[in-house]
Amino acid sequence: MKLEKLLERIDYEILQGSIQTEIDALVYDSRSPKNNSVFICIQGINFDGHDYIEDMAKQGSVAVIVEKRVDIPEGMTGILVSNTRQALAKMSAAYFGYPAQKLTMIGITGTKGKTTTSYMIYSILKQAGNSVGLIGTVEVRINNRAIEAEHTTPESYILQQYLYEMEQAGVKYVVMEVSSQGLKLDRVCGIEFDYGVFMNIEPDHIGKGEHPDFEDYLKCKSLLFSRCKVGIFNAEDSHLSQILEGHTCSVETFGTYPDADFVAEEINLHQEKGSLGVSYQVKGTVNFDVMVDIPGKFSVFNSLAAIAVCSHFSITNEIIKNALATVRVKGRVERIPISLEFSLIIDYAHNAMSLRSLLTTLRQYQPNRLICLFGCGGNRSKDRRYEMGEVSSKIADLTVVTSDNPRFEEPLAIIEDILIGVKRANGAYISIPDRKEAIRYCICNAQKGDLIVLAGKGHESYQEICGIKYAMDERQLIREVIEEMSEKERKEKLIQFQL
């Protein structure tokens, strides 16, 4: 492919060489050189691709894309653009033949609810007999093939490669989470979404390497709605008017407000034999009863968003209802059905805001005791530890402090920091550093009507210690704990888990 073809949707200046140069590969990581490649110089927080141009020329790159005037080796084509991240996204799309244009693209953004909503939409479309792709925090799915995700929104080249593979596999619809970083770093640049969904926004991802302030975070989220045809919005979010600034899409809304297009009425929390869920009636554009086997009011908003999207695809109400009644999302208020006497949930909540939201939601089910097990990651802000400890101590009846991903810190030191926050409130607590033993304690000491939450790990299947990721899936730990229980203990706890 000629370089000219890759540049066809970009404004550029030729510094030297020719755009007729033949290109076999795109490279944006200097650690992955390839012959006859074009090297796109990306500037990061701790690196600058412009510093590696000479090395890349020696290792096979025949062209380079830069965003500042630098020395370029003789014989190498040099192209100047205003933004190399945008150039990478648009060149990647061209390289793979603009796959997004051949797919129905559904993008979901928001502080909370992206993952669950994406799985709900995915499940509805699949039950309706469609070929669907999924890109998100937990995984990438191309029909029945699953790939573990590294970022919520992949780097633009990887994203375009996934879209190409989906298109080649006959996928019709793509449901993807669009993170604020994905928008800020132009990973979705050049993609026009058919549908964009706004869930909510709260202060998060603010700090070094992310967003300098809430205004920047909000602005980045709003970018999706100048890049989609139909926008579907949470009518109740207090920042909706700011999100709508500059939008170019048509607007539909969902929520409990009567003037929304998709309205939830007669909301009821339900629980039975360890199961927790919510039911309601959706009215407005469509009218039918809904039951979701995922607890909390946020499940109402997540499912409303999914209904709003899928109402555009001529899917019957019955299919939508069945899909929502059976959908499961790994690590997102994921119920592990081990007992008829108490409930056990795994969730990804790993900061004070998400933990408060989760525990407040579960408290509404009026459990005998709300038990919260969690730890905090190493080499991260100590404030998060204090805040999470205090939140759990205030809302849960019992806090079980354990290890998460200690990374390069001592697990006991992290636990001591968490306990500082725990002691700011009056909740009962215990610390058990080994996560499996902490889970064992919760299960073996569970009482009838208890609700146990294992927070922080969610979909993660590893524990990171000193730079090494060791296999550790909480579902497997639960299985091992139950296998190691005596038959008498299982009968006492009414353990029903199929091992």
Kindly report, residue by residue over 446-479, the tens digit of the pLDDT: 999 999 999 999 999 999 999 999 999 999 999 9
- What's the rounded Cα separation, in Å, for the pair 129 and 313? 12
- Averaged over 98-110, what is the pLDDT? 97
DSSP strand pairing (343-347 vs 139-142): unpaired
Strand partners, 74: none
Place of tokens 């080249």: 157
| Separation between Cα atoms, residue 67 and residue 48, nearest integer Å | 11
Joined together, the tokens standing for residue 304 give 């409303």
**Whether 309 contacts 232, CB under 8 Å:** yes
What are 173's strand-pairing partners? 104, 132
Indicate the pTM of the whole model: 0.92
Tell me the one-letter amino acid at 258.
P
Q: Cβ(239)–Cβ(233) under 8 Å?
A: no
Torsion over CA of 292, 296, 298 and 300, rounded to 10 degrees? Answer: 40
226-257 residue pLDDT tens: 999 999 999 999 999 999 999 999 999 999 99
Q: By 3-state DSSP, what share of the chain in percent is helix, strand and coil, each rounded to 5? A: 35, 25, 40
- pLDDT > 70 fraction of the chain, expressed in percent and rounded: 97
* Cβ burial, residue 214 (10 Å; 0-12/13-18/19+): middle
Q: How many helices and strands (H and E) does the chain possess?
A: 16, 24
Residue type, 138: V
Q: How far apart are CA 372 and CA 390, in angstroms?
A: 12
Q: CA–CA separation, 299 vs 278, rounded Å?
A: 7
Residue 126 tokens, joined = 């699949």
Give the integer Cα–Cα distance in Å for 123 and 170: 17
Q: Give the contacts of 360 (CB within 8 A, at least 6 positions apart).
A: 395
- Strands (E) across 202-274 are located at 228-234, 250-255, 262-272
Structure tokens at 359: 């525990």
pLDDT at 274 over 70: no
In this predicted model, what pLDDT tens digit does every residue of 12-45 receive, in sequence order? 999 999 999 999 999 999 999 999 999 999 998 7
Rounded to a whole number of angstroms, the distance between the first and last alpha carbons of the chain is 53
Confidence at residue 207, expressed as pLDDT on a 0 to 100 scale: 59
Do residues 262 and 245 lie in contact, with contact meaning Cβ atoms separated by under 8 Å?
A: no
CB burial of 220-255 (b: ≥16 within 10 Å; e: otherwise) equals bbbbbbebbebbbbbbebebbeebeeebebeebbbb
Query: Smallest Cα–Cα separation from 184: which of 149, 213, 148?
Result: 213
Q: Tell me the per-residue pLDDT of 5-21, one tens digit each, with 9 for 90 and over.
A: 999 999 999 999 999 99
- Residue 59: name the closest of 29, 17, 20 by CA: 29
Query: What confidence score (pLDDT) does residue 295 get?
Result: 92
Burial group, residue 268, by CB count within 10 angstroms (0-12, 13-18, 19+): exposed
Name the average pLDDT for the chain: 94
Distance between CA 146 and CA 135 in Å, rounded?
Answer: 10
| pLDDT score for 271 | 83
Contact 162, 171 (CB under 8 A): no
Per residue in 277-305, pLDDT tens? 999 999 999 999 999 999 988 999 999 99
Residue 158 confidence (pLDDT): 96
